[in-house]
Amino acid sequence: MNQAVKLTARLEPYPEAVGAISRPRPAADSPKSLRTRARILDAAQRLFVEIGYASASNARIAEAAGLTRGAMLYHFPDRESLVEAVVPYIQAARTKLLQAAHDATPLGADRIDYAIDSYWRLLREPAFVAFAELEAAARTDAALAERLAPAAAAFDRADIGEHLIELVQGAEGPRFQASRDLARFMLEGLARSQLSYDADGRSERLLTVVKRAAHILNRKGLSQDLWPEG
């Protein structure tokens, strides 16, 4: 059976995902203003990774962006307005990384293995780490959870669901959805875990098992041991 991975980002943007930093605002959206907001959102993403969402206050984000408190308030007067902008900003960064991974697909590569290796690498990128931090914080922050839900759903339906990791070209149904979900959620769980010893070796062995499982699910009727011998 023909195997394929589409690391394309045909994302149907959820509301506000397009033009995350160019929405109409009380102040004029001059080029300088847009650049300043981009600096703020970039600093927010960076601090979410470095110190966590709860510790990354608006004041600390302003400091990291090299701005005064007044400049921060001018662009984002409260936490809600910042979150409203930073979620689609991070979402757009994830989509861009996924598209770049697709564009770099080596000719003749095993597409299942390439998809899994690529997603594992991307999960360590700041945009993915920051989004995972927001998901963790959203468990106890109802307002953040409400803002994050459409982004997570759009990513699941488009980037990861039908258009990102299609492990069998044109395949549909629960068997193939299970293959995608197995690879995705195993990798995401592994990325968020804290292995206390032999982290590289254990991670590599788990990646090998995930790849084998994905191959089995995408080759109907094939019997194969999940554990690599030797």
Give the pLDDT confidence of 95-143 residue by residue, as tens digits.
888 888 888 888 888 888 888 898 999 999 999 999 999 999 999 999 9
Domain hosting 90: range is 31-217
- Structural domain contains residue 86: yes
- Structural domain contains residue 9: no
- Structural domain contains residue 8: no
Contact between residue 103 and residue 95 where contact means Cβ atoms under 8 Å apart: no
142 Cβ contact partners less than 8 Å away, ≥ 6 residues apart: none
- Structural domain contains residue 188: yes
Question: Nearest CA to 14 among 146, 212, 141, 190?
Answer: 146
Tokens 């005064």 correspond to: 68
Task: Tell me the pTM.
Answer: 0.80
Q: Please state, for a pLDDT cut of 70, what percent of the chain lies above it.
A: 76
DSSP tag of 228: P
Confidence band for 159, pLDDT divided at 50, 70 and 90: low
Q: Alpha carbon of 108 to those of 4, 112, 170, 213: distances in Å?
A: 11, 12, 19, 21
Q: What is the CATH number of the domain that holds 166?
A: 1.10.357.10
- Structural domain contains residue 141: yes
Give the count of domains, the chain. 1
Residue-level pLDDT at 160: 57
Contact between residue 9 and residue 100 where contact means Cβ atoms under 8 Å apart: no
Q: What is the mean pLDDT of residues 19-38?
A: 68
- Structural domain contains residue 7: no
Residue-level pLDDT at 220: 56
Q: 198 versus 106: which is more confidently predicted?
A: 198
- Structural domain contains residue 180: yes
Count of helix runs (H) and strand runs (E) in the chain: 9, 0
145 Cβ contact partners less than 8 Å away, ≥ 6 residues apart: 138, 139
Maximum alpha-carbon separation in the chain: 65
- Structural domain contains residue 11: no
Q: Helix, strand or coil for residue 185?
A: helix
Whether pLDDT at 40 is above 70: yes
